[in-house]
Amino acid sequence: MTTPTLPARRELPPLGPITRLKLPRQAERTLPNGLTVIVVRRPAVPLVEVRLGVPFGRAHLARGALLAQTLLAGTERMSALRIAAELQKVGGGLSAGVDPDRLMLSGVGLVTGLDRMLEIMADVLTGATYPADEVATERAHLVDRIEMAQSQPSHLARVALLRRIYGRHPYAVQTPQPDQVRAVRPAALRTLHAERVHPNGAVLVLVGDVQPDRALDAVERALGGWRGDGREVTLPPTPPLEPGPIRLVDRPGSVQSSLRIALPAVGRTHPDHAALQLANLVFGGYFSSRWVENIREDKGYTYGPHAMVEHSAAGSVLVAGADVATEVTGPALLETVYELGRLASLPPGEEELEQARRYALGSLQLGMSTQAGLASLTSAYAGSGLRLDFLAEHAARLAKATVEDVAEAAARYLAPARAATVVLGDAERIGPGLAVLAPVESEPAST
């Protein structure tokens, strides 16, 4: 038996009046040493979120990765174990990571432990010693982690896509090779730290149950003595996307193929950005999009297709990705190109644009509703030289974008003719099906 399809008897309730975006209380100060500090108050739970971003573009890949793993491995005053225990004592924790633009030191703790967390941060930022034993340990673990990643299809597809779209730009390779990591010595880490871990140009974001002005004073007390005048390192802008043949990367025996399609995009402040974001949503950037409804809900080719605009200091790019069953690789790519082409050629419908617009505006509200969300957002914005008040500006642009604006953005950025496409999968099984759609160039799976 099936549930009979009855005429709808109940009406969908309307939405209530929209709540205006309300920015939380915040304060900002740039210390004499060049560190910018932004404090945002959200007292919901008695915690404080910490995000420190230090400019790190063009840092040596293997040394940078290992520096992030060993920044908290010891100082003149404290061993690695002591640092970990002292942070834990105030309910806190810190971890460091790198991306092509920034070294990030992130954490969270009980707000009563803020001063102690700042003290420990100051200690590692000004006096990390990179002890030989700890460096050897973390080096071995990092090698293991990289080798582990190299067995993951998502990682391999990402590596191949970056190489395909960035060519000779520093963004082209973002994971070091195991041998490069094995060659790093503690002295090289100390040198890199001295050269690059500086307050000048760095941004520290605190979000939580804090009084902004008092928290600024606390940061100034703890980190005012962090010195160094790091030279400015700028990255050249990313090269324009070069369309070309489908790049097929072989992963023999793969039961799924990883499709990755890169398209041109613009930065957060570009006048096209809001319209591009809406065009991307209509295409595939959320569940209720044409692409997801087509290849998942209609055809069952995939579980979780995704498309988003990725922003970096040197440029932005739109990446659409889906992992599809090996036997439907060609058909899935065909539908993808069809949906991109359809939106680039024909304007979206009024109602589907309104739906995407309400989703985009709602996402801004949801993103600001937790301490962790606010901290990540504030820190990401600061990385682009923006502040939270840009949210209101962005919301206004999203609200104003017309069908014509979105159609224009789609024609400009989502056109399949502009795409760079990488497919990772079992080349023998999927090659012929891809070759009927477009020229294919093969590359063996490398890491």
**Three-state secondary-structure class, residue 338:** helix
Residues in binding contact with other proteins, number by CB under 8 A: 91
Q: Is residue 140 close enough to count as binding other proteins by CB under 8 A?
A: yes
What distance in Å separates the CA atoms of residue 200 and residue 230, rounded to the nearest whole number?
6
Stretch that binds other proteins, among 191-199, 239-247, 290-298, 385-393 (CB under 8 A): 290-298
301 near other proteins, judged by CB under 8 A: yes
The yes or no reply on residue 409 touching other proteins (CB under 8 A) is no
- Select from 14-22, 181-189, 222-230, 407-415 the region that touches other proteins (CB under 8 A): 14-22
Task: Output the smallest distance, CB 151 to other proteins, in A.
Answer: 5
Report the C-alpha gap between 427 and 444 in whole angstroms: 9
Dihedral sign from CA coordinates of 375, 202, 110, 27:
negative
Decide if 333 contacts 437 (C-beta within 8 A): yes
What CA–CA distance (Å, rounded) separates 96 from 136? 17
Tell me: does residue 446 bind other proteins (CB under 8 A). no
Q: 216 is written with which tokens?
A: 């600024």
Q: Return the DSSP state at 371.
A: H
Longest Cα–Cα distance in the chain:
75
Least gap, CB of 129 to other proteins (angstroms): 16
Determine if 264 is a binding residue for other proteins (CB under 8 A). Answer: no
Choose which of 35, 37, 38, 42 interacts with other proteins (CB under 8 A): 42
List 23, 25, 30, 46, residue binding other proteins (CB under 8 A): 46
CB-nearer residue toward other proteins: 29 or 299: 299
Q: What is the phi/psi pair of residue 28, to 5°? A: -140, 145
Are the C-beta atoms of 403 and 243 separated by less than 8 Å? no
Examine residue 213 and tell whether it contacts other proteins (CB under 8 A). Answer: no
112 touches other proteins by CB under 8 A: yes
User: Binding mask 82-101 vs other proteins (x if CB under 8 A, - otherwise)?
Assistant: xxxxxxxxxxxx--------
Shortest CB 109 distance to other proteins, Å: 6
User: Would you count residue 134 as binding other proteins (CB under 8 A)?
Assistant: yes
Restricted to residues 332-391, the positions that interact with other proteins (CB under 8 A) are 354-355, 358-359, 361-363, 365-366, 368-373
Q: CA dist 367 to 21, 227, 250, Å?
A: 11, 34, 38
Contact set for other proteins, span 176-205 (CB under 8 A): none
Does residue 135 interact with other proteins by CB under 8 A? no
User: What are the b/e assignments for 369-398, b being 16+ CB within 10 Å?
Assistant: eebeebbbbbbebbbbebebeebeebbebb
> Quick one: which of 172, 173, 235, 325 contacts other proteins (CB under 8 A)?
325
Residue 192 burial (CB count, 10 A): 20
**Residue with tokens 């932005």, as numbered in its chain:** 316
Asked if 151 is part of the footprint of other proteins (rule: CB under 8 A), the reply reads yes
